[in-house]
Structure 1
Amino acid sequence: MRLLPRSLTGRLLVTAGGALLLGITVSASVIAGVFGHFVLQTLDLRLDTEIALIARTLDRNPDHPAAALHAGDLPPFDQPGSGWVWEARGPFGIVRSVSLGGQALSLPPDPLSDRLRDPPPAPPDMPRPGAPFGIADALRLHGMPPDLRPMDGRDAQGHAVHYRVAAFGQGAGQVTIVTAAPREIVEQPLRAAATPLAESVLAMGGIMLAALAVQIRVGLRPVVRLRRMVAEVKAGRLRRIAVSEPTELVPLVEELDGLIVANENAVAQARTHVSNLAHGLKTPLASLKLDLADAPGAEGARLRLLVETMERHIRHHLGRARAGGGVASPAVILLPRLQDLAEALARIHAESPCHADLDVPSDLHVRCDPQDLDELLGNVLDNAWRHAAGRVRVTARADGKRVRITIEDDGRGLSDAEIDLVTHEGRRLDEQSAGTGFGLAITRELCALHGGSVMLERSTLGGLSVTIALRGA
């Protein structure tokens, strides 16, 4: 099971979102705990104040404590059913608040009974009681009852109750005062604060998560830009990656640029070696071809065919070296190349009345090695020029991501069977004209090396129509 997404953005969002959720949960729990503790402290203070008031009343009225205590009951301890109650036990008996309605105070069975049965000894610095219950000395020394202990339990109806217990004196003169209040007084404010607290925490979390998403988007923008620039280099629209920030990406960019340079150098060296080999073989092959031109018989024909085969292989591998190597082809403007080729062919075939009509947009680009483009267009144009009656038409249009270049002539043309025949390497239908018959095959190979294609069909001018499809820029 995959815990993290594959993308870097997803991983950052998941990890940061998880940490944010944990932090918000802990913060909400701490805030709720602090608030609950504050409310409980306020309740304890109210109960402790009531204990001190009862203790002083007992100290001042040792003979008639019940009447004095009932006369001094303050709200809400004087309201039956309020849940705010107290009970005092000592030599005078048991006195209960008016709010108890004469009923006994429900006490937690074990802890409280132990404390009531075995109260802790008085502090060693407490003087011997001078008053009947020893309360005055305790209050004078401590300001509050010396032994205040919190307890929690449930009343006779099963409601949660919070107690405070204070013990004075020791032995037979011990006085124990218990005050209690509904635990709901603590829980109600917590419930009331829970909704706005949760809403505030969720709103804060949402804002922080949105800010985190923006931060990740902004932080990863250089990575996205780098990816686009690498794609531009691959497509041949850029030669180098120019990124100066963030500084963390600069070493990576330098390595990528170094890789691009090394690749270009390796391709350039391979091209140089192949070109040198091709040129080194061309001269002796040309001499051998001349020597065999007049060789009689079948043996001479066989040798001439072998020489032509070697020439074809040399041209083929030279073309692959120029087009291959993993370096993207540059964007080449098409119209100037066609104009130069038309002018050159017009001079070569000066005796021919043929002329070329170019219908090519001036801003049309193709992705192809310039030398390969000249060779494949030159082969087709030369063939059209040699077979045209007087006109060659060249049109080029963008077709989606491709550029289609159509070269037509008004010559005799070819039938479907002849078109199928000339697609084979070295096959020629016109044995009287110059040429090896490999021009169209080389054009097909070069187009294929650059991701293109060649299609032959009948032209509306009456001759042959050759359509070359190459990648646009």
Structure 2
Amino acid sequence: MNLLPRSLYGRLLATALIATLAALAFAAFSIGAVLERFVMRGLDDRLDAQIAVLAQAVRPDGGIDRRRLILAAPYDDPRGGWGWRIDAAGRTTASPAPPDLGAMLGPPNSFLDWHDRRDRNRARALDWRDHDGPRHARSLMLATPAGPVRITASAPRAIVDRPLRAAMMPLLGSLLLLGLALAAATLVQLRIGLRPLKAMRESLTAIRAGKAAALPEDQPSELAPLVSEINALLAENAAALANARGHVANLAHGLKTPLATLALALPPHDPDGLLREQVDRIDHAVRHHLGRARAATPGGGMRVATALAPVLADLTDALARIHAERGVTANVEIAPDLSVAVDRQDLDELIGNLLDNAWRWAATRITVTAAVGADPRFIRLCIADDGVGIAPEARVAALAAGQRLDERGDGHGFGLSIAYELATLYGGTLTLESASLGGLAAAVDLPQSLRTSHSSDV
């Protein structure tokens, strides 16, 4: 399972937030440790000073000069948690609240083995907990002719914990504010840093809509090679398309004259008209591909924008006159500002084939609607009739070239296939569905253009 977000924005934001939180946690821990060490050093210095005073009371023979023992504050208060003790030759001299060596070191005799030779004449820190809470002490072992003398001074751990807690609260608050500021800076940085990608996406949308032929070359250094490759690919595709259409046009033009000659020579040899029908089918295909070749737009593959309303108005008016004897009426509902990124000639052929098919099979009524599709990049045009329709299992075959599902008509079976090819040529789709009128609905999705080209409407 991939835990990373799918978007670059989400990945960069998540990575930055995790890194920021880790840095702030490390900063809080490090600063807390430094503060604790600083405060603890102050306490240790105070305890070491008391040990130095007590060491003055130890005579060279290991005895204790009680006249030099000064019981000063805070060691004179048995409830304050401060205390000291001197252990020498089995005798102990201590303050009113001495530290508990048993709690510090375990068994009573173990304290003599606790310091090795390197620890002698150097105080060592001890921490433990008793009934009054956590305690901290410093202990020094002195070597005398009468044996080792241990001097210990202790203090409540709260002396360190209270100032640490008091210092950590504003520190954590400051780190929280710093984290919020870094998060805001990260959001701003991501918006600014990823803005070229958004601009590139908008430029690609403009290319699909026919507003531009290539991506702008003025890009950040990291994106410049990618933009150059995309523009080169667009240019190659446009050149290949123009070359292919040129070959098709040349081939179609080359076939027109032989077809015309063959049509003139057929009548004596074609009593039943079968050969003439095949020649007509070939001629129709030639004319279709000639129209496709002529539909190659100037500018290396740039798509023009064509308004739908004028095209539908012209075609419905023409087909209503052509099929006037059928008595079919067409109801067109389309916003005047809708336009598609399709060449006018191709759009005429695509919609003309769909309308002609609807007029041939409608009983009395045809409806034509157009609106922005579920994908806002496309316009959905739907042409429905109240005829007999096409069975669902036969709809795929109806889109194949030359397929006639009913031989009683006078068509050649190319209308729906030509519309399908033109729709896919522009990145759209054509689907056949059941109409609410009872017949067939041809729904075609074509790429939307956000502007209308004046030259495409003539």
Give structure 2 stretches of 5+ with no counterpart: 320-331, 358-366, 374-378, 389-402, 424-428, 436-440, 450-458
- In the alignment, residue 113 of structure 1 is paired with which amino acid? L
8 A contact 1:405–1:467 mirrored in 2: yes
1:86 corresponds in structure 2 to 84
User: Cα distance 1:26–1:404, how it changes in 2: closer, same or farther (>3 A)?
Assistant: closer
Which among 233, 240, 250 is matched to residue 224 of structure 2?
A: 250
Distance 1:361 1:49, change over 3 A: closer
* Mean CA deviation greater in 279-288 or 221-230: 221-230
| TM value normalised by structure 2 | 0.67
Q: Alpha-carbon deviations, 1:308-338, whole Å to 9, x = none?
A: 122123234455667799x685312467879
Could you tell me how far 1:42 is from its partner in structure 2? Answer: 0.8
Which amino acid in structure 2 is aligned with residue 234 of structure 1?
Answer: R
Question: Could you tell me how far apart the structure 1 residues matched to 2:130 and 2:262 are?
Answer: 123
Matches within 5 A, 1:396-407: 398-401=370-373, 402=379
**What is the DSSP-based 3-state SS (H/G/I as helix, E as strand, rest coil) of the residue aligned with 1:297?**
coil
Moved more, 372-381 or 173-182: 372-381
Aligned to 2:44: 44
Partners of 1:151 and 1:163 within 8 A in 2: yes
Deviations 1:264-292 (A, max 9, x none): 11111111111111111011111221233
> Does structure 2 retain, via aligned residues, the 8 Å contact 1:319–1:446?
no
Q: Which residue of 1 aligns with 2:281?
A: 309
Judged with a 3 Å threshold, the aligned counterparts in structure 2 of structure 1 residues 338 and 119 are, in CA distance, closer, same or farther, namely closer
How far is 1:248 from its partner? 0.7
CA–CA distance in structure 1, aligned partners of residues 188 and 10 of structure 2 = 13
Give the TM-score taking structure 1 as reference length.
0.65
Give the Å deviation of 1:166.
Answer: 3.3
Partner in structure 2 of residue 447 of structure 1: 419
Q: Is the 8 A contact 2:295 2:345 kept in 1?
A: no
SS of the residue corresponding to residue 6 of structure 1 reads coil
**Structure 1 residue 262: Cα displacement:** 0.5
Give, as a single letter, the amino acid of the residue that structure 2 aligns with 1:229. Answer: S
Using the TM superposition, give the Cα deviation of residue 191 of structure 1 relative to its aligned residue in structure 2, in angstroms: 3.9
How far residue 215 of structure 1 moved from its aligned partner, in angstroms, is: 1.9
Give the deviation of 1:208 after TM superposition.
2.0
Q: Deviations over 1:343-375 (max 9, x none)?
A: x99xxxxxxxxxxxx999876533333332455
Q: CA deviation at 1:293?
A: 4.6
Question: What's the offset of the Cα at 1:9?
Answer: 2.4
Q: 1:191 to 1:11 in 2, by over 3 A?
A: same
What amino acid does structure 1 have at the position aligned with 2:50? E
**Relative to structure 2, which stretch is displaced further, 331-340 or 237-246?**
331-340
Name the CA shift for 1:20/1:110 in 2 (closer, same or farther; >3 Å): farther
Q: Partner of 1:12 in structure 2?
A: 12
- Counterpart for residue 362 of structure 2: none
Q: CA deviation at 1:83?
A: 1.7
Q: Is the Cα–Cα contact under 8 Å of residues 160 and 183 in structure 1 kept in the other structure?
A: yes
Classify the secondary structure of the residue corresponding to 1:237.
coil
Among 267, 270, 281, the alignment partner of 2:241 is 267
Deviation, structure 1 residue 253: 0.6
Deviation at 1:175, TM superposition (A): 5.2
* 1:367 partner amino acid: A
Cα distance change of structure 1 residues 294 and 88 upon mapping to structure 2, 3 Å threshold: same
**Secondary structure class of the residue paired with 2:154:** strand
Q: Which amino acid is 2:84 matched to?
A: W
Aligned with 1:237 (options 211, 214, 230): 211
Matches within 5 A, 1:112-131: 112-114=111-113
Deviations along 1:383-409, one digit per CA (max 9) or x if unpaired, are 9xxxxxxxxxxx998533548699xxx
| Secondary structure at the counterpart of residue 148 of structure 1 | coil
> C-alpha displacement at 1:31, in angstroms?
1.1
Cα deviations by residue, 1:220-243 (Å, 9 ceiling, x for unpaired): 222122223223323433311115
Q: Which residue of structure 2 lines up, in the alignment, with residue 74 of structure 1? A: 72
1:87 alignment partner AA: R
| Distance verdict in 2 for CA 1:446–1:468, change over 3 Å | farther
Alignment check: 8 A CA contact 2:103 2:128 kept:
yes
Name the CA shift for 1:253/1:269 in 2 (closer, same or farther; >3 Å): same
Q: In the alignment, is the contact (CA less than 8 A) between 2:88 and 2:148 conserved in 1?
A: yes
- Per the alignment, do residues 174 and 306 of structure 1 end up closer, same or farther by CA in structure 2, a change over 3 Å counting? closer
Checking the alignment, whether the CA contact within 8 Å between 1:81 and 1:99 is kept in structure 2 is yes
- The answer to whether the 8 Å contact 2:245/2:293 transfers is yes
Work out whether residues 380 and 444 of structure 2, in 8 Å CA contact, stay in contact via their aligned partners in 1: yes
Aligned residue number for residue 195 of structure 2: 221
Residue 21 (structure 2) aligns with: 21
Alignment of structure 1 residues 281-296 onto 2, 5 Å: 281-293=255-267
**Residues of 2 paired with 1:112 and 1:87: CA distance?**
14
Unaligned residue ranges in structure 1 (runs of 5+): 122-146, 346-357, 384-394, 407-414, 418-422, 430-435, 458-465
Change over 3 Å in CA distance of 1:273–1:83 after alignment to 2:
same
2:112 alignment partner AA: S
Q: Which amino acid aligns with 1:250?
A: A
Alignment of 1:129-278 (within 5 A): 147-154=121-128, 157=131, 159-168=133-142, 170-172=144-146, 176-278=150-252
Change (3 A) 1:379 1:172: closer
Residue-by-residue CA offset, 1:72-96 (whole Å, 9 max, x unaligned):
3221101113221112345896432
Query: 8 Å contact 2:307–2:339 — kept in the other structure?
Result: yes
1:117-140 Cα distance to aligned partner (Å, 9 max, x none): 98977xxxxxxxxxxxxxxxxxxx
Tell me how large the CA RMSD over aligned residues is: 5.2
